[in-house]
Amino acid sequence: MSISLIILAAGQGTRMNSDLPKVLHKVAGAPLLVHAMTAGAALAPERVVIVAGHGAEEVRTAALAHDETVQVVLQEEQLGTAHAVAQALPALEGAGGDAIVLYGDTPFIRPETLESMIAARQRHAVVVLGFTARDPGRYGRLVTSGETLERIVEFKDATDEERSITLCNSGVLCADSALLAELVAAVGNDNAAGEYYLTDIVGLARARGLSAGVVICDEAETMGVNTRAQLAEAEAAFQARARAEALENGVTLTAPETVFFALDTVVGRDASIGPNVIFGPGVTVESGAEIKAFCHLEGCHISRGASVGPFARLRPGAELAEDVHVGNFVEIKNSILDEGVKVGHLTYLGDAQVGKETNIGAGTITCNYDGVFKHRTEIGAHAFIGSDTMLVAPVKIGAGAMTASGSVITADVPDDALALGRSQQVVKAGFAKKFFDRLKAAKAAKGKN
Ligand code: UD1
Ligand code: CA
């Protein structure tokens, strides 16, 4: 059966105190909205519709950047969650199958939980995701009798007795999309908030003699983000889980609490990660690679047997083949390093291609930017780049070639050649001694005055 997703993301998020729409604030390097999209994507949905309102253009751009197949619809006025779903329904026309409603500000719903909701649809026309709240606060309450969910009552509209219920509404629900459309059309706004409550569809379904049920998840999954403090809590919760998962998957973390993962970080078994390593988006580390302390990695791939750091920075497009060694204070951007390349110390490689087994000496810099354009540096296999070489791109260094230390290389170097690009050394015998004797004498004369 086909599944479609509706992700509600029109709310203002006033309590974030921000110019950025709430759902674009990031946890683990990815917007909250992308977390919800990622959880939903595990169900291979036929259609994904995102309801945007506040900051709709920014939300649209971010959503499409992550997945260009989604549809983003506009909810001009935020008249309630049922009204939001109503804006999405035209985009689902003809899709058939079930629709799942998610919130863009609730990042941690697990795909397995969504799957159990779909399974529960065998028994119920409407399935709601509930949780037992430690502090039920202002959540909507789930009014049940036995296995049946009778209705959802919003906190504002609840009696004292209903407020004592601890089984709460996460907001996530699932129903046949055609039925959802009918029920949503019947929702009114005669309630304490004057809003069109999506939660009313449960009572409406029951009134039609349809069955509704609850799937219960852990409260941690339903954590929503409304404030910067909750954003920080969500980050901490994500990192705690990611660290535990990495350890479980056979990754060594010497100081797990100091390592920060991104939503899409992939680390292979028997990789080892030292203290204070930060993963930005788009990093894959193969089995057995070693990342030493204080590295910052983003958009890069580190192959089996490679070692990186301490204190290295790999930026987007850094591709390290097997057994590459990148040492301290090295920055690499948009560069491919073939097998066994060594870049030990204090180097910048940008827009470069480095052949197999080549050694890049300390202090080497690719001068890849002329102030307007970026240029490429190509270095062949088994080359030896002397320490403190400036490679002024575009430039090519042949296989087996060598550059002398301190050279400024502005022209291509053929295979197996030596390139010297520095001024001739001059040696003046005795000069230093004479020079300092003169200065010292001058200082002594001054002291006597
Ligand atoms: C909602 C539920 C409540 C549940 C709680 C869980 C309703 C009526 N209530 O309450 O039962 O316990 O979530 O967090 O559904 N949104 C729109 N357009 C709108 C209104 C909301 O897109 O017109 C989006 C918001 O951006 C947010 C989500 O829907 O992502 C939930 O809206 P919110 O106002 O936070 O609902 P709650 O009052 O918290
Ligand atoms: Ca909320």
Q: Kindly write down the DSSP assignment for every residue of 300-329, as one continuous string.
A: -EE-TT-EE-SSEEE-TTEEE-TT-EEEEE
Mean pLDDT of the chain: 97
Q: Is residue 48 lining ligand 1, measured as CB closer than 6 Å?
A: no
Chain segment 215-270, per-residue pLDDT in tens = 999 999 999 999 999 999 999 999 999 999 999 999 999 999 999 999 999 999 99
Burial of 38 (0-12, 13-18, 19+ CB in 10 A): middle
**Rounded to the nearest whole angstrom, what is the distance from the C-alpha of residue 52 to the centroid of ligand 1?**
13
H/E stretch holding 176: strand 167-176
CA of 81 to the centre of ligand 1 (A): 6
Q: Supply the pLDDT for residue 398.
A: 98
DSSP character at residue 55: B
Q: Does domain 246-419 have CATH number 1.10.443.10?
A: no
Kindly state if the Cβ of 11 falls inside 6 Å of ligand 1: yes
Q: How far apart are CA 84 and CA 96, in angstroms?
A: 19
How far is residue 81's CA from residue 184's CA, in Å, rounded to a whole number? 10
Best residue among 103, 204, 222 to mutate for probing ligand 1, ranked by most atoms within 8 Å of CB: 103
200-207 vs 177-185: helix axis angle to the nearest 10? 100
Q: Which token pair is 165? A: 């219920």
Q: Band of the pLDDT at 286, cuts 50, 70, 90? A: very high
How many whole angstroms separate alpha carbon 33 and alpha carbon 15? Answer: 17
**CB of 199 closer than 6 A to ligand 1?**
yes
Residue nearest atom 3 in ligand 1 by C-alpha distance: 140
Q: What percent of the chain has pLDDT over 70?
A: 100
339-361: average pLDDT: 98
pLDDT above 90 coverage of the chain, percent? 98
What is the pLDDT at residue 1? 80
Distances (CA, A) of 317 to 248, 250, 341: 29, 26, 16
**Does 98 sit in the ligand 1 pocket, CB within 6 Å?**
no
pLDDT of residue 98: 97
Our CA angle for 159, 164, 168, nearest 5°, is 100
Ligand nearest to the CA of 105: 1
pLDDT of residue 448: 75
Domain with CATH 3.90.550.10 in the chain: 3-222
172 Cα–ligand 2 center, Å: 12
pLDDT confidence band for 199 (50 / 70 / 90)? very high
Q: Is the CB of 84 under 6 A from ligand 1?
A: yes
pLDDT digits (tens, 9 = 90+) for 17-62: 999 999 999 999 999 999 999 999 999 999 999 999 999 999 999 9
Nearest C-alpha neighbor of 37 from the set 55, 20, 62: 62
pLDDT at 449 over 70: no
Any atom of ligand 1 within 6 Å of the Cβ of 201: no
Ligand 1 pocket: which of 6, 24, 74, 81 to mutate (most atoms <8 Å of CB)? Answer: 81
Q: Which two tokens stand for residue 16?
A: 């974030």
Ligand 1 mean position, distance from CA 357 (Å): 57
User: Cβ(131) to ligand 1 under 6 A?
Assistant: no
What is the SS3 assignment for 395?
strand
Catalytic residues: 345
- The predicted structure's pLDDT at residue 137: 95
Q: Is the CB of 105 under 6 A from ligand 1?
A: yes
Q: Which residue has the tokens 């009134």?
A: 207
Identify the residue whose C-alpha is closest to ligand 1 atom 13.
171
The token duo for 11 is 């709310």
Q: How much is the pLDDT for 341?
A: 98
- Residue 93 phi, psi dihedral angles, 5° rounding: -55, 130
Alpha carbons 189 and 365: distance in angstroms, whole number:
65
Contact 22, 33 (CB under 8 A): no
* 3.40.50.1820, 3.40.50.920, 3.90.550.10, 3.40.50.2300: CATH of 3-222: 3.90.550.10
Q: What is the pLDDT of residues 102-128, one digit of tens each?
A: 999 999 999 999 999 999 999 999 999
Burial group, residue 353, by CB count within 10 angstroms (0-12, 13-18, 19+): middle
Average pLDDT of the residues in 93-108? 96
Name the pLDDT band for 360 (thresholds 50, 70, 90). Answer: very high
Work out the pLDDT band at 12, boundaries 50, 70, 90. confident
Ligand 1 midpoint to CA 87 (Å): 15
> From ligand 1's centre to the CA of 264, what distance in Å?
27
